[in-house]
Structure 1
């Protein structure tokens, strides 16, 4: 039966091999660039934590803490907020209809559209302190880094404006510091709003049993609100 099997010819094998090599090598370079940049993020976040802790030393009740959760995750806790920086271990390509794909920079070399991603989420620090597993966090920014160390940031408010020059801007310690500072500033201004009454009017007996002295009611800064709107827009929309 194996006599009827048609094996690929040498030209096809060579084509497949070259394609595999090119893409694998390119993705390895992107991964290395992203991982290297993430380690810079770690160092700057750690230094930021130390500086904040030093300047806030007299405010005993304000917690400033840096925590590493393995190779790909780091937490920065400041007062009632936690910023979680997570590097994804895989490589992604921008969608075909993304504005980046329309640039001459990408048209000249499609491999430039493949990026590693670092996501930045904002949570309430009490969510972790009281083990409220149903609480939600919000994506504040995501950083894309390609094979040439060019980077692009999709983010809330000024972050999406300051870091959008993907065609020529390389990621470095200065830009990483700006990203971290912007994320911290945004989180401080991103206040916890009272959820709609109907969203919290019911509480199950199980939730009471599981309470352990702390109400495990799902909490997030924008429960019941559209996160796409920033704080000022929400004020206008809901007359707060």
Structure 2
């Protein structure tokens, strides 16, 4: 390949793929801002229904920056994280069977918003080694079409990619499904053999900083949890 061909190849990519990736980022960013607004709505609606009987179970939304938002729900925290990069799918992924993508492969480029479930005490006591679990991820392309991979996220899967635009109502459905799953996804006692030995250094650290590693399925295989999908 000569220098002219190389330069042409670079220019072609910059004018096509690079532009598409920028469009995907802007689309995902715009819809992440919409997600934050919906989280505020969810907080208000549920707190109004809960009333003042027990404020310990009130929802609490926190904007943690440009690409992170949190929603505290009782003893759980849902962390919504927008990845700043644009992704393509491997050739074995179901997305390639979509008519929408087959018409234009550039429709397959997506941004992603990950939804993690942490224990509130992990943040409250700064337990940096505690485990969080990915319970859903939302893929959004340049046109605002989306699909969801995750726990109980029915009706929003790959089959709907190309026919469903992300909007406030869809975000609320995704959020409420994640909340319900997190509330029903209980903290289990870790296997005895996993915690039967602890060093003096570890114990001193736990006493001083309360950092005993904790997670809802610590010591268990997450994909084999006992919550129905």
Taking structure 2 as the reference length, the TM-score comes to 0.91
Q: Which residue of 1 aligns with 2:53?
A: 58
Q: Which runs of 4+ in 1 moved over 6 A?
A: none
The within-5 A match list for 1:76-95 is 76-95=71-90
**Residue-by-residue CA offset, 1:109-141 (whole Å, 9 max, x unaligned):** 111111000000000001111111111000000
CA distance in structure 1 between the aligned counterparts of 2:211 and 2:198, rounded to whole angstroms: 10
**Residue-by-residue CA offset, 1:46-70 (whole Å, 9 max, x unaligned):** 2212233333322033353211111
Q: Which residue of 1 aligns with 2:121?
A: 126
Q: Which residue of 1 aligns with 2:26?
A: 32
* Two-structure CA RMSD over aligned residues (Å): 1.9
Q: Which residue of 2 aligns with 1:162?
A: 155
**Residue-by-residue CA offset, 1:190-225 (whole Å, 9 max, x unaligned):** 111111111111222222222346642211111121
CA distance in structure 1 between the aligned counterparts of 2:201 and 2:30, rounded to whole angstroms: 45
- Structure 1: give runs of 5+ residues left out of the alignment: 1-5, 234-240
From the superposition, tell whether residues 215 and 198 of structure 1 become closer, same or farther in structure 2 (CA, over 3 Å): farther
* More divergent stretch after superposition (14-23 vs 192-201): 14-23
* More divergent stretch after superposition (99-108 vs 35-44): 99-108
Q: Which residue of 2 aligns with 1:117?
A: 112
Q: Which residue of 1 aligns with 2:225?
A: 230
- Larger RCO: 1 or 2 (CA < 8 Å, sep 6+): 2
Which of 160, 168, 172 is the matching residue for 1:173? Answer: 168
CA distance in structure 1 between the aligned counterparts of 2:181 and 2:166, rounded to whole angstroms: 21
Which entry has the higher C-alpha Rg, 1 or 2? Answer: 1
Taking structure 1 as the reference length, the TM-score comes to 0.87
- Structure 2: give runs of 5+ residues left out of the alignment: none
Q: Which residue of 2 aligns with 1:21?
A: 15
Q: Which residue of 1 aligns with 2:64?
A: 69
Contact 1:91 1:114 in 2 (8 A): yes
